[in-house]
Amino acid sequence: MVAYAFYLIDEIDKAHFLGVLPERRQNPDRITKESVLNFGRTIAGIDADVNKIFFLRVTVDESTGEISWLGKSIRPKEAF
């Protein structure tokens, strides 16, 4: 599944991971940079500066939870 990893740049230009949100829209015409950034604003808060939010398009393996981008992946920790 396609998802977006969101980051927020702070006052000292350090990027902070906000979270990953899956893309659920079926109509690709509705997927724009602005609409994806609106997703990010829901995580960062409505008062967050949209110019300080960026995202990476990633894929999530629904069976394992593994997140992949640019040939690299992050595996979720095993549950206790």
Question: The pTM is what?
Answer: 0.73
| CA–CA separation, 17 and 23 (whole Å) | 18
Alpha-carbon distance of 17 to 19, in angstroms, equals 6
Residue 79: inside a domain = no
State how many domains the chain has.
1
Q: How far apart are CA 68 and CA 24, in angstroms?
A: 18
Q: Would residue 45 count as lying in a domain?
A: yes
Give the domain extent around 65: 2-74
Q: Is 20 a domain residue?
A: yes
d(CA 34, CA 75): 29
6, two tokens? 């969101």
**Is the residue at 53 inside a domain?**
yes
- Identify whether the C-beta of residue 18 lies closer than 8 Å to the C-beta of residue 44: yes
pLDDT values of the chain reduced to their tens digit, one per residue, 80 residues: 888 888 888 889 898 888 888 888 888 788 888 888 887 787 777 777 778 888 888 988 888 888 887 655 555 554 43
